Amino acid sequence: MTQPSGHHSEAPAGSVPGRAWLMLALATAGFAVNFWAWALLSPLGPWFGESLNLSSFRQSLLVAVPVVVGSLGRIPVGVLADRFGGRVMFPLVSAATIVPVLYVGLVGNSSFPALLIGGFFLGIGGTAFAVGVPLVSAWFPPGRRGLAIGIFGIGTGGTAISALTTVGLVESYAMATPFLITAAVLAAYAVVSALLLRDAPGRAVPGEPMLRRLADACRLGITRQASALYAVAFGGYVAFSVYLPTYLRTGYGLEQADAAHRMAGFVVLAVAMRPAGGWLSDRFGPVRVLGGSLSVVLAGALAQASTPALMPLGTIAFLAMAAALGAGSGAVFALVALLAPADRVGSVTGVVGAAGGLGGFVPPLVMGSLYGAYGSYAIGLVLLAVVALAALLLTGTGVRHAVARRVAAPSY
């Protein structure tokens, strides 16, 4: 069995080329800026809900549309990243995201259909993830990839920037202000990344057509397993980061700014735990980290299902789930880096990333519908616990066996 081209040029185990850290920093910054743009509508969901008189479901749909488009868009963008590399794709995705940001900020915020169109194209920003993972993975040796991709995952904190600044900027200045600032930062990053970003020497470049590569990636066991786990880990993170302000307002009666700040705290903890999940996976294996993370999510969801007092139990439950979802997300991509072929990392990442985003798309709609029907979030949280239990069983069976086979296989 021959290794994919580029595999032989990897640095010796454990050593990291000096430029790898610069490329990691650039990729993480690009991921954060694009995620900031991707999440601009979420903090304004309650505001648009009131000003445009939207139903609970329409409000959920408004914040969920960029999530689903950004998620599905990762599939073609991941394949293109394998082909053309991050040096080409990062500036391209960043520049393309500027257009919907300006559209929503300047003209597309006065009606529900216009916002949906803007939200659809804001999804482009969410595809940056599928560009960064193969770029970073190629620069780092196998024993350091979990940590490196975990650090790259800090870019999901772009959603926290949006949560902390968007509402305040709109209230202090104008609706267009946060959108104009984000567009300027995206433009600056597109220029800087075009000048400085480089792909790893000896990067594995696939030769076959795009659709065949995508089909091959989908047939890999790691793609299916990691997709299911990421739909729970990252999907849970995305779902809470877009829906938590609404949940806290309707479930606990908090003010909009207070709810947005608490959501930002959830996001910051989850983001901080992502590199920890990758680092722990490098040391103890992704299966153990995933098992522990999913167990915490299961317990936290069951605790929160009874809508306990926000202080202290509700806060503890949410923060424990934030930490577990962040660590679990880092562990999933440590798993991808361990099991995916070198020239398929982008394609596999695209499909897995799409599954994660779709995992974040469904829960806000379910929660909004259930609350509209029953006036309670309990059923939704019990469903989250059931899903976490199913993912825990998958980790302990199929994923554990796949990792054991990979570790036992001889390397050539």
Separation of CA 136 from chain center: 16
pLDDT of residue 318: 92
pLDDT of residue 409: 63
Mean pLDDT of 99-120: 93
- How is residue 157 annotated by DSSP? G
The tokens describing 85, both together, are: 């590399």
pLDDT at 189 > cutoff 50 = yes
* Least confidently predicted of 142-146, 147-151, 373-377, 397-401: 373-377
Instruction: Tell me the pTM.
Output: 0.81
- pLDDT band with cut points at 50, 70 and 90 for residue 8: very low
pLDDT of residue 59: 84
* Least confidently predicted of 104-113, 153-162, 177-186: 153-162
pLDDT at 383 > cutoff 60 = yes
Mean pLDDT of the chain: 87
Region class of 15: left (phi > 0), else alpha (psi between -120 and 50), else beta: beta
Phi, psi of 147 (to 5 degrees): -65, -45
Q: What percent of the chain has pLDDT over 70?
A: 95
pLDDT at 322 > cutoff 80 = yes
Q: What residues does CATH 1.20.1250.20 cover in the chain?
A: 18-199, 210-411
**What is the second-level CATH architecture of the domain 18-199?**
Up-down Bundle (1.20)
One CATH from 1.10.3720.10, 3.40.50.720, 3.30.300.30, 1.20.1250.20 for 210-411? 1.20.1250.20
pLDDT at 241 > cutoff 50 = yes
How does pLDDT run across 115-170, given as a tens digit for each residue? 999 999 999 999 999 999 999 989 998 888 889 999 998 998 888 888 889 989 99
pLDDT of residue 91: 97
pLDDT of residue 9: 38
Quick one: how many helices (H) and strands (E) in the chain? 18, 0
> 156-160, 252-256, 285-289: which has the highest mean pLDDT?
285-289
Query: What Cα–Cα distance (Å) separates residue 366 from each residue in 181, 316, 373, 374, 381?
Result: 33, 24, 10, 12, 10
Mean pLDDT of 77-86: 91
pLDDT of residue 3: 38
Question: Which has the higher per-residue pLDDT, 349 or 23?
Answer: 23
- The C-alpha atoms of residue 40 and residue 45 are separated, in whole angstroms, by 9
Contact 296/318 with Cβ under 8 angstroms?
Answer: no
Most distant CA atoms of the chain, gap in Å:
63
Mean pLDDT of 190-210: 88
List CB contacts of 392: < 8 A, sequence separation 6 or more.
Answer: 291, 294, 295, 298
